[in-house]
Amino acid sequence: MSEQVNYLVIGSGSIAKRHLANLKRLFGGSHTTIGCVSASGRTISASEVGEGIVIYNTLAQALENEYAFAIIASPAPWHIENAAQLLQKNIPLLIEKPLSDSLKNFRLYESTLLAHQDKIEVAYNLRFLPSAVKFKALLEDQVVGSVQGVSVDVGQYLPDWRPASDYRRNVSARKELGGGVLLELSHDLDYLGWLFGRFETAYCVSRNTGTLDVNVEDVADALLVREDRLTVAVHMDFLQRSPVRTCKVIGALGTLVWDIISNTITLRTGANEKRVLFEDSEYDRNNMYLDQLRHFSDVASGNVSPAISINEGLNTLYLIEAMKASALTGLSVKIEESQA
């Protein structure tokens, strides 16, 4: 007789629903239970999460069971507290990005999380995108020679993100839920660390333009400087009517452009010399979430190490804290100072 296997998702937003559907797709069966509980304590209806999902009224009720692993997809301010509660039961955790909304909140349960870091992964799923893997390989192969400069542009008009709902009520638009471009678009800060290592200083200007009726920063521009003085220019916003998400790397031998939306990588080595090195416009973006879950299932089983560790998630949080401090003071901030 097969043993019962349980999975749990904390949260009820769009990313939680995606994880629930993907858990059913990958692991669903007669001997599998997939459960869901709201982080805020509100009652979740079956129509929200679909058929075959066990809905718990409280986290305490959910924790009466054992789990192969759990996914924390609650708003960022609750990530760490939720994680600490589950880790008391030794449940492996996939924590949605960002790791926390603040370093202060992380510090409250830091020792608990670090004690279980071999079974915790931060869900920066963009790293599982095939074009991301290819882009990293091309940089490591020095296809453009030594890197001289980097620029990132990411933006989309916030009301278009989830047009079926009032964007002003969503996490992205609300400071108390961990919204704002710096936290919500931190995928693009994570991959910068993955591709180029840690940065030494950050200078950032962020603001609320007043055009969206939200209480968070809806645009930010930053300069991130590495110890060797390599500088990365980052633009992030909730404003662009035509979505954009690109990373351009200027090298001694050419310029490499990763367009995440079109899922292409192009190399320019002259005014009229352009080659497409990667293109997959038909790629189903849910596949990177599925690949992430497959990998984390192996992490939970103890077969592999986390792809994005707590320390990597922390490095991105340190960077965000430094960018926020810079925006507040108008000064360049040493990122190590944000770790205090």
Residue pLDDT tens, the chain, 340 long: 468 899 999 998 899 999 999 999 999 888 999 999 998 878 888 888 888 899 999 999 999 999 999 999 999 999 999 999 999 999 999 999 999 999 999 999 999 999 999 999 999 999 999 999 999 999 999 999 999 999 999 999 999 988 878 889 888 999 999 999 999 999 999 999 999 999 999 999 999 999 999 999 999 999 999 999 999 999 999 999 999 999 999 999 999 999 999 999 999 998 889 999 999 999 999 999 999 999 999 999 999 999 999 999 999 999 999 999 999 999 999 999 877 6
Radius of gyration of the chain (CA): 20
- d(Cα 89, Cα 160) in Å, to the nearest integer? 40
CATH architecture of the domain formed by 127-281+317-339: 2-Layer Sandwich (3.30)
- Beta-carbon contacts of 18 under 8 Å, excluding residues fewer than 6 positions away, are 286, 289
The two structure tokens encoding residue 159: 């009301």
- What are the structural domain ranges in the chain? 5-123, 127-281+317-339
**pTM, entire model:** 0.95
Confirm if 28 and 18 have CB atoms less than 8 A apart: no
Alpha carbons within 13 angstroms on the beta-carbon side of residue 66 total 5
The two structure tokens encoding residue 320: 């965000």
The pLDDT, as a whole number, for residue 2 is 63
Residue 55's DSSP bridge partners are 36
With the CA atoms of 244, 183, 74 and 296 taken in that order, what torsion angle do they form, in degrees rounded to the nearest 10? 70
CATH class of 5-123: alpha beta
- The stretches of the chain forming alpha helices (DSSP H) are 14-27, 46-49, 59-62, 79-87, 103-108, 110-115, 130-140, 181-184, 187-196, 286-300, 310-329
Residue 220: closest CA among 92, 110, 325? 325
Q: Environment class of residue 306 by beta-carbon count within 10 Å: exposed (0-12), middle (13-18) or buried (19+)?
A: buried
Q: Residue 178 in 3-state DSSP? A: coil
